[in-house]
Amino acid sequence: MSTADAAGRSVWGSKLGFVLAASGSAIGLGNIVFFGANAYRFGGGAFYVPYFAALFLIGIPMMIVEMGLGQTQRKAFPSAMNRTSGKKGEFLAWWAQVNAIVIAMYYITILAWVGSMLVKSFGPLYADGANSVGPTFGGVLTSWMPVVFAFGIWALNAVFLSKGTKTIEGAVKIFVPLMWVFMALLVVRGLTLDNGLQGVWYLFTPNFDGITEAAVWQGAFSQMFFSLSLGLGTMTVYASYLPRKADVVTNGSMVGFMNCTFEFVAGLAIFSMLFAFTLYPGEGTGTLGMSLVVVPTGIANFPALQVMFAALFFFLMLIAGLTSSISIIEGPVASLKDKFGWSRAKAMALVIGLGAVGSVAFALPQVLELDGKPTQPLGLSLLELFDHWAFGYSLLIVGLVEAVLIGHVYGIEKLRAQLNANARFFKLGPWFDVLIKYVVPTLIGVVLLFNVLNELGVSIEALGIPGKGFYIGDNGEYFDGFEWGPSAVFGLWLGGTVVAAWLITRSGGYDHEEEGEA
């Protein structure tokens, strides 16, 4: 198996290698931690209409576009956008890369907490049965253990990225099949608990209550983008290592469906445990609380093998997250290589160096204590604020502008013809052009508009949409005494990412034709 093509660009050893890598990227914390929390927060059955709309009208089509861009241009996202839609496109793609680094920072901090909980599952986690779960997580958050883990996980990522496709393939060939096996064990255990099936009804019973709330739609759209690894050009980079004849229409759809199947199964596992033990996450349960506290609390009530199942659950999240984090980091690394002709080692040193420092900042255990009220660690507060912007907005903004540029400026008809030439099972019809040119931008645009109005506190009475004002997820109360925090983080995020993207786009580079692996 060769790992470089004639021009010296690294290529996947096999089609299976690519599918495993792309599904390893897609399946991650998004499918376990974020899906469970979002589906619960937005009311189970109420989440489906926007979720499926997002999958078929936006998710799969954009997956095909992002992969198609990489496969036809054989470049990372910024260079591929430059070649198809000029400097504007390149700027957008660099903005996405800067956001990818921010997302990698906190993604790995979350993995560091997961890793710490894995260690604790062999000790204090169930020292006092279900009662010791919450305090154990609290202890992890306020200790230095996650900082150590954050360094370790960045180091692991460096190992898996060190030889490009070759080392990535090595990792996903082991981890991706293992993920499915572990998830199967958990779902069988969950569904066979007394009352475990109750959770299935919660997840499946349609409910149209929340359907007019912009936040539910934004939640579903952001969830879909994040889960499918869209909006950062990740799939473009992975597909740029495909041979010219590869069929991304089929592969892209397949990866999309596999990801959502996994997500569904994960939802079943989580909801069956919650309902079997009537654990209703309280109002204050944040996104992380669901997977790191509520689910382990459910496992504590298992009739047997609690420690084994808890360790299995944390290990599953860890490997699912690892195969995703390597893809998030590969994006900016490959982008720098392609624009400046840097060696892999040099690009990795910059991205990983920056990223590791950021992860440590998010893992800092200092607890803010203001007005005599202990709140949560400063790092976690910062993480939630950055997540609000990077997760909630940047992926959707990139998706919207990308659809407009590829749809109208480059011409989606051109891309579709190139993709259809290699499509062996089904070809994309003209409906695909309509989706990319009009449907995707309109849907995302409307959702973003309502949310911005919502953040600004504008209520739209005719539609029954309340203006909530600047709100951060459902944990607004954590920011008592840290009022300047949200605005400062917003300014830092927007200013920092835009300026960095602008500087990189402006600096010449030489869109290096091809370079071998260093």
Interface residues toward ligand TRP, by CB under 6 A: 25-26, 28-31, 226-227, 229, 231-232, 234, 324, 327-328, 395
Q: Distance (Å, rounded) from C-alpha 30 to C-alpha 27? A: 7
Select 28 or 289, whichever has its Cβ closest to ligand TRP.
28
Coarse DSSP helix, strand, coil percentages of the chain, rounded to the nearest 5 percent: 75, 5, 20
Task: Report CA dihedral (121, 266, 386, 214) to the nearest 10 degrees.
Answer: -150
Contact, 67 vs 234, CB < 8 A? no
Select 182 or 478, whichever has its Cβ closest to ligand TRP.
182
To 5 degrees, how large is the angle CA 361–CA 366–CA 367? Answer: 130
Select 65 or 279, whichever has its Cβ closest to ligand TRP.
65
Tell me the closest approach of the beta carbon of residue 464 to ligand TRP, in angstroms: 32
Q: Distance (Å, rounded) from C-alpha 426 to C-alpha 464? A: 43
Contact, 105 vs 359, CB < 8 A? yes
Select 30 or 267, whichever has its Cβ closest to ligand TRP.
30
Contact, 71 vs 247, CB < 8 A? no
Select 35 or 450, whichever has its Cβ closest to ligand TRP.
35
Q: Distance (Å, rounded) from C-alpha 501 to C-alpha 398? A: 13
Tell me the closest approach of the beta carbon of residue 77 to ligand TRP, in angstroms: 10
Select 67 or 279, whichever has its Cβ closest to ligand TRP.
67
Tell me the closest approach of the beta carbon of residue 436 to ligand TRP, in angstroms: 19
Tell me the closest approach of the beta carbon of residue 289 to ligand TRP, in angstroms: 18
Select 165 or 324, whichever has its Cβ closest to ligand TRP.
324
- What is the 3 state secondary structure string of 102-155? HHHHHHHHHHHHHHHHHHHCCCHHHEEEECCHHHHHHHHHCCCHHHHHHHHHHH
Tell me the closest approach of the beta carbon of residue 30 to ligand TRP, in angstroms: 2
How many Cβ atoms are within 10 Å of 469's Cβ, its own excluded? 12
Tell me the closest approach of the beta carbon of residue 229 to ligand TRP, in angstroms: 3
Q: Distance (Å, rounded) from C-alpha 464 to C-alpha 213? A: 9
Select 121 or 327, whichever has its Cβ closest to ligand TRP.
327
To 5 degrees, how large is the angle CA 417–CA 420–CA 422? Answer: 120
Tell me the closest approach of the beta carbon of residue 1 to ligand TRP, in angstroms: 25
Token pair listed for 304: 């047997």
Tell me the closest approach of the beta carbon of residue 233 to ligand TRP, in angstroms: 8
Residues in the chain: 518
State CA 359 to chain mean position distance.
16
Select 44 or 231, whichever has its Cβ closest to ligand TRP.
231
Residues 6+ apart with CB under 8 A from 491: none
Tell me the closest approach of the beta carbon of residue 93 to ligand TRP, in angstroms: 13
Contact, 95 vs 398, CB < 8 A? yes
Tell me the closest approach of the beta carbon of residue 32 to ligand TRP, in angstroms: 8
Residues 6+ apart with CB under 8 A from 362: 105, 106, 109, 379, 380, 382, 383, 386
Select 277 or 389, whichever has its Cβ closest to ligand TRP.
389
Q: Indicate the residue type of 171.
A: A
